[in-house]
Every structure is written in structure tokens, then in C-alpha cells.
Amino acid sequence: TRSTRPQRLLKAVRKRAKRGDPQSVISAIDHFCRHSEWAMNIGDEKGSILDSVVSELSPEKVLELGTYCGYSTVRIARLLPPGARLITLEFNADYAAIAKQVIAWAGLEDKIQLVEGASEDWIPHMKEHFGIETFDFVFLDHWKDRYLPDTKLMEDCGLLRKGTVLLADNVICPGVPDYLEYVRNSLSYKSCYFKSHLEYTKAEDGLEKSVFLG
Ligand code: SAM
Ligand code: MG
């Protein structure tokens, strides 16, 4: 049977990227997506905005919602300080299996805990399963109808502290109007928009950065 897109993406990583070199893994995936097949990674353009937010924060406890092939996972993890932990959630077992290998190729297994399952099932168990009190940084990039309910769930579970930064991808394309309405109007957040383009295209998209004020 024909291979899947994530399998072809992994093949491109193995062919073009140097083992243990996260930057070469990122470049190999971007090259594959620009020249062979589009895929739903945050991509290089929005990726540089993600990089600056992560670098500025230097977070120790990070949650990523939506791993896919591990592109943004590698992007974030390579910038984390020593001892930091990134938990990334993915409910598609085939994608998780690819991400695991991409992360290993980048040599970042020690920083990353890839957890298979649905965000709404795992968020209430972060404390008992992973010993997490609160996250410093959360990257939201799973299915768009889950941004708002999962944000409220993280609030209810006490996973956000004063100063926790939420960064949400694809707030214009495909768009998350209910989430934007919430973080922009709630007194519990200070929110701002970073204009950019949908991964590997010229269509407008952007990231919303929202600081939880407690
Ligand atoms: N963050 C990745 C990157 O930029 O490289 C891309 C993630 S992709 C846009 C979204 C992923 O979220 C898909 O792989 C999908 O299977 C996963 N997903 C969607 N809803 C989810 C949920 N509720 N819990 C866990 N994973 C979910
Ligand atoms: Mg995205």
C-alpha cells in the first residue's frame, strides 16, 4: 500500500537531516513541505515567532497540544533551558509514532514526553501523572474547536499561574473566533496578535499570545 504523508516526511528527515542536529531536522521538514508536500506544521515563518516567544520566556514546564509529526515539538525543545520539560499531546497513534522518531532523530528525547491521547482526557491528570503543578508556557495547535474548552479546563485544573503564556497557532486560518473573543475580552488575560502567514503559503494567518494574569 501507498505510504502516508507523515511517513514520507520522516523519510525526508532521515535523508536530509543530521542525527542529533535539531536545526537540520527543522530545515529538512520545511524543505519537504515547500518542495514536495504541504503539511500542517507551524512552518518556518510562524516558527520564528514561536522561537522568539520561547527564547524570551525560557520556560521550564511546557505543554504542547497537537504534536502531529513533531516539527513544533523539536522547534520548542531545542530552545529550552537545561532541565526543562516539554509534554506534548497527540491523539492520533500513527502521527505519534512518526513524531517519536522525528524527536529521536533530533536527539531531543530527554527533554520531551510525547503522550498519546486526547487533550481533554489528559489535562485533568497532569498533576498525578506528571507531577506538574503549573505550566510556564502552553502551545495550542490541535483541532480548533478544542482551544477554548481546553483553555477553560486548564484554568479549572489550576494548571495556569500568573504569568503563564498561551501561544495559539492558526487563529486566522482556519481560525478560532470563540477562543480569540475569550482571551481578548477576559480580564484574566493580556492578549496580542502576531500577524504572519499560513505555513508554506501566502495566506494570512497568525499567532495569538495571551498572558494569564491570574
Ligand atoms: N504542532 C504541530 C506542528 O506545528 O508541527 C502541528 C499539529 S497539527 C496542526 C494538529 C494535531 O493535533 C493533529 O496531529 C491532531 O491529530 C492532533 N489533535 C487534534 N485534536 C487533539 C486533541 N483533542 N488531543 C490530542 N491531539 C489532538
Ligand atoms: Mg498550526
Give the pLDDT of residue 12. 98
Q: ipTM of the assembly? A: 0.99
Give the pLDDT of residue 24. 98
What are the distances in angstroms from CA 72 to CA 79, 80, 142? Answer: 11, 13, 12
Give the pLDDT of residue 1. 74
Are 56 and 142 in contact, with CB atoms under 8 Å apart? no
What length is written for the chain?
214
Residues whose CB is under 5 A from ligand 2 (ion)? Answer: 141, 169-170
The identity of residue 63, as a single letter, is: L
Ligand 2 center to 157 CA (angstroms): 25
How many CB atoms neighbour CB 2 within 10 A? 5
Shortest-distance ligand to the CA of residue 205: 2
Give the pLDDT of residue 28. 98
Q: pTM for the complete prediction?
A: 0.98
Give the pLDDT of residue 23. 98
Ligand 2 center to 110 CA (angstroms): 24
Pocket of ligand 1 (CB under 6 A): 40-42, 66, 68, 71-72, 89-92, 95, 118-120, 141-143, 146
* C-alpha to C-alpha distance for 213 and 18, rounded to whole angstroms: 41
* C-alpha to C-alpha distance for 68 and 187, rounded to whole angstroms: 32
* pLDDT mean values, one per 10 residues, the chain (214 residues): 94 98 98 96 98 98 98 98 98 98 98 98 97 98 98 98 98 98 98 96 96 96
